[in-house]
Structure 1
Amino acid sequence: MLTVHYGSSGGIYNSTTEVFSEDTDSYPGAAAKDEIFAYSLATGDINDDGFCDLAVGQPLDNAGGLANAGTVKIMFGTSTGLNAKDTVAVDQDTANVPGVPEKGDRFGEQLAVADVNGDGVGDLISATIGEQISGSSDRGSIHILYGPFKSGAPAAGGFVDSGSVDGIGEFAGSALAVGHFNDDDYADVAVGVSDEQVGGKGAAGRLAVFYGGSQGLSATSRVKLFDQDSPGISGAPEMEDYFASGLAAGDFDGDGTDDLVVGMRSEALNSAYGAGASMILFGNATGGVTTKGALWIDQDTDKVPGVIAAHDHFGWTVGALDTDGNGRVEPLVGAPGNAAGTVTVLKVRPGTLEAATALGEGDLGFSAGSDGDAFGAALPH
């Protein structure tokens, strides 16, 4: 089920709320067990009409008669908000969407909207993490559906498959974040491949950053890879670290280019398995994302509240938000396994952690909560 809470001068509390499901009249599709409608969400104007649209990912949906092939429902914004009749279903059988539905593709697993080809119209990026690459052991792909969407289909479609980029062949697209990591007119896409084997360690994890251009994204150029074997990245690849299992982007240091916060949801620290950690990688105008000034953040880092403990999963989720309204975005690190769960708000500059504040439910005016609440399990990107 999807609930939409419309903003007002008083925020969203007691504002207009609408509820949608595949059983809603005129909504495409049909409700079925375990299809997980609204698993992923992304917003942006992808039909160039001035209204924000909502992409609703359903990676376990049946498409083309095939289980878990995946669909995305596009709810086009209007002057009166969202409605069922202005919604279309998109899958790999839709015009200009590359590929065909296959069992277990999981089209729509992760979604984002950004203008990666610089034409002024939002493009829809879908991580299709189960896509099997023909003739290869690689799995996972990134679909770029270029706007404007007309008659329920994108203007054109692009496709970056894991078989074309050496080192991202294990469920590519487990996380997505978009931003302007260098000083050009094209949005860039950070892709988590958290199950990737690195240094012989299964699910150590890897990050791929694809840079936009006039022709969109490319698998053969404008791509950088990072993992815990990369110079300047702290730690070392270990089994099931899940490096880049969470990603979020924002201008953390106020230099006009976006930066990345990278989650490692199950990083083992000392003997604390699943303690978790995160890293901040900074963008710059000429080089994009680099490891220069990179910061490692865990609950044993100076200024970070808390202590390392098994299964805290500090970095299970990461986020980005200007929490104090000063125009500079703060990276957020969720630790949903830390008792009832915490979210740590960071202030950073290259090479420097300026401040860190850990928040629980009680700090926001709610009851203190209890173990298992998983506060911080989802954060704004």
Structure 2
Amino acid sequence: MRARTLPVATAAALALAVTGLGAPSAGAAPSGLADDFNGDGYRDLAIGTPKASGGTVTVLFGSASGVSRTRFVNVTQNTPGVPGTAESVDKFGENITSGDVDHDGYADLIVGAPGEEVTGKPRGSVTIVWGGAKPFTSGGIALTAPSAEAAGFGEGAAFADLDGDGTAQLAVVGVDTFWWYGDGGPTQDGAIAPEVDFLPDGVRLDGIVAGHFSSKDGGNGFEYVLHGSRTEPDGTPAPGYIGVLRGGPGDIGSGHTVLSDDGTTGSAAWWSSAVATGDIDGDGYEDLVVADSAGGKGGAFTVRYGSASGLPLKGRTYQQDSPGVPGTDEAYDAFGSALALGDVTGDGRADLAIGAPGEGVDGKRTVGDVVLLKGGSGGLTTTGAQSFHQATAGVPGAAEAGDHFGSSLRLRDINGNGKADLAIGAYGEDVVPNGYDDGAGWVLRGSASGLTTTSATSFNATDFGYPVVAGRKFASVFAR
């Protein structure tokens, strides 16, 4: 569909963004938030577009009024100071995370490029671009595959305190390898392999997320969830792989649990790469949500609740025909293709956004839809459930076939009011006549009653100075 297109941002506006408009006042300490790149106290929104021009990342800076088309920085491998050269196969921005890697109080941008070609090594890299009062102007570092087995290095990354010593470490996965870097900071020669080779044969990893799911080892250290697909030795598909790697003191890899497919599909499940963590029931333990976008007729997701003893092997599964869930369970809806957890209402419990980019609306196919289910003391509830698409009053744009609204999601408080705001991507959005998969993004604000379309914002690549390119699929990735 065509979204309303605003004039391309001017070079002056870009200069303002690069100089850190909204950075802390002189003498003020940076906020220390894991996604506040300029230290002004507001979380920022990083948008990945790995399909075009080797991959791009656009960072929109948060503020009391939310994000704006005039406060941004574009980061590519052609940006001065950023290592590497943009090439068509790199997939720079395939995954994005952030954290204060260099311990200066500012969040740093961590970007995976699993297709990066590296002479004499397997494909893949992770680039760290330094934040600061003038973010992304002081260069960065690139990490490449630590071994000949580390193909697809940068397929996923997370930045959390793995060993429980109070300092976060970077963890990176490849197609079938896991690596982490010690407290001294990531260096090319500093990658550490687990003491125990815990990954089963036939696993192809899609990514990694971190969370506090238990009080094992005294609650020290995060636990990592590694997720991906799996095949049997004869090449036939097997239930998707979801593994939990326990952190804390001791040998990394020795505390490893495989969470089984709960059998909702009745056959081998191809779990999607949509995985989210957050404390849904407010008990102090994070919970894990994993989607199977082929489950049921049109997709499903399973919630496993954290506890003192950790995540259970089985969980509760929801589909669009579950009582209280908006919509109808139909083939090809892809319900669960994207997931995000965050506290939309400000009640201290995480709410769950679920994307269904294949959902039909008003007789049109693959328009896309997003559902919000709220957290509560008893866990996820369908009471007060909400549903949004481009035919919803107040959502910019028009519902048209092929938009795939809800193909990417992120929930974070970007205006500092204590309520998470929802970023939504639609990789199939056409922004010019006869366009094809240009892509666009939206932000809906959180409120005490849930998401609201009041002051809803939309944007596309042309708003940030990029030319229209068929198949760009802008905003197909948001930072975790």
Bucket of the pairwise TM-score, normalised by the shorter protein:
0.7 to 0.9
After superposition, where does 1:88-237 map in structure 2 within 5 Å?
A: 88-90=192-194, 95=196, 97=198, 100-102=200-202, 105-106=203-204, 108-118=205-215, 119-130=219-230, 139-148=239-248, 150-151=250-251, 153-162=252-261, 164-167=262-265, 169-196=268-295, 198=296, 201=297, 204-220=298-314, 223-237=315-329
1:43-78 C-alpha deviation (Å, 9 max, x unpaired): 21112233322222222xxxxxxxxxx122223342
Moved over 6 A (4+): none
Kept after mapping to 2: 8 A contact 1:42/1:55: yes
Give me the whole-angstrom Cα distance separating, in 1, the residues matched to 2:239 and 2:171.
Answer: 23
Once the two structures are TM-superposed, the CA of residue 143 in structure 1 deviates from its matched residue by 0.6
Q: TM-score, normalised by structure 2?
A: 0.66
Query: Could you say what the CA RMSD is over the residues aligned between the two structures, in angstroms?
Result: 2.5
What is residue 39 of structure 2 aligned with on the other side?
none
CA distance in structure 2 between the partners assigned to 1:178 and 1:277 by the alignment = 21
Quote the residue 1:344 is aligned against: 442
Matched, 1:21 2:152: no
In the alignment, the residues of structure 2 paired with residue 234 and residue 310 of structure 1 have an alpha-carbon distance, to the nearest angstrom, of 20
Further displaced range: 231-240 or 298-307: 231-240
* Secondary structure class of the residue paired with 2:240: strand
SS at match of 2:275: strand
Q: What's the offset of the Cα at 1:129? A: 2.5
Letter aligned with residue 189 of structure 2:
K
Cα distance in 1 between the residues matched to 2:361 and 2:375: 27
Q: Distance in 1 between matches of 2:200 and 2:450?
A: 46
Preserved contact between residue 156 and residue 207 of structure 2 (Cα < 8 Å): yes
* Residue 76 (structure 1) aligned with residue 182 (structure 2): yes
Residues 110 and 175 of structure 1 are in contact (CA less than 8 Å); yes or no, is this contact kept in structure 2? no
Deviation at 1:19, TM superposition (A): 1.1
Higher relative contact order (CA 8 A, sep 6+): 2
For the Cα contact (< 8 Å) 1:275–1:312, is it kept in 2?
Answer: yes
Tell me what 2:167 maps to: 51
Q: Distance in 2 between matches of 1:206 and 1:230?
A: 10
- Return the letter of the residue paired with 1:38: G
Cα distance in structure 2, aligned partners of 1:4 and 1:42 = 12
Question: Are 2:344 and 2:451, in contact at CA under 8 Å, matched by a contact in 1?
Answer: no
Q: d(CA) in 1 for partners of 2:247 and 2:467?
A: 45
Q: What's the counterpart of residue 401 of structure 2?
A: 310
Query: Identity, % of aligned pairs?
Result: 27
Measured at CA, do residues 303 and 132 of structure 1 come closer, stay the same or move farther in structure 2, by a change above 3 Å? farther
Match of 1:321 among 398, 406, 412: 412
Structure 1, residues 181-238: CA drift from partner, whole Å, max 9, x if none?
0121211111011122x2xx3xx11010110111211124xx2211111111122122
Q: Give the whole-Å Cα distance in 2 for the aligned partners of 1:110 and 1:343.
A: 22
User: Counterparts of 1:85 and 1:150 in 2: how far apart (Å)?
Assistant: 22
Q: Which whole-Å CA distance do the structure 2 matches of 1:175 and 1:262 have between them?
A: 9
Contact 2:324 2:382 in 1 (8 A): yes
Q: Does structure 2 retain, via aligned residues, the 8 Å contact 1:131–1:141? A: no
C-alpha separation in 1, matches of 2:254 and 2:411: 30
For the 8 Å contact 2:421–2:451, the answer to whether it is kept is no
Query: How do 1:238-253 and structure 2 match up within 5 A?
Result: 238-253=330-345
Distance 2:439 2:305 in 1: 34
Offset of residue 330 of structure 1: 0.5
Instruction: Determine if contact 2:220/2:247 at 8 Å carries over to the other structure.
Output: no
1:76-104 alpha-carbon deviations (Å, 9 max, x no partner): 342xx3113331235xxx6273x6323xx
Deviations 1:251-291, CA, capped at 9 Å, x for gaps: 1111111111111122222443222111111111x111111
CA 1:290–1:131 in 2, change beyond 3 Å: closer, same or farther?
Answer: farther
Cα–Cα, structure 1 residues 160 and 173, in superposed 2: closer, same or farther, change >3 Å?
Answer: farther
Contact map agreement 1:142 1:173 (CA 8 A) in 2: no
3-state DSSP class of the match of 1:292?
A: strand
Q: Conserved in 1, the CA contact under 8 Å of 2:246 and 2:255?
A: yes
Looking at structure 1, the residues matched to 249 and 424 of structure 2 have their Cα atoms a distance apart, in angstroms, of 34
Distance 2:407 2:171 in 1: 24
- CA distance in structure 2 between the partners assigned to 1:351 and 1:38 by the alignment: 35
The one-letter amino acid of 1:170's match is A
Structure 1: segments with no counterpart, 5+ residues: 60-69
Alignment partner, residue 126 of structure 2: 2
What amino acid is aligned across from residue 219 of structure 1 in structure 2? L
Aligned 8 A contact 1:132 1:139 in 2: no
Aligned residues: 342
Normalised TM-score (structure 1)? 0.82
| Structure 1 residues 219 and 132: CA distance shift in structure 2, 3 A | farther
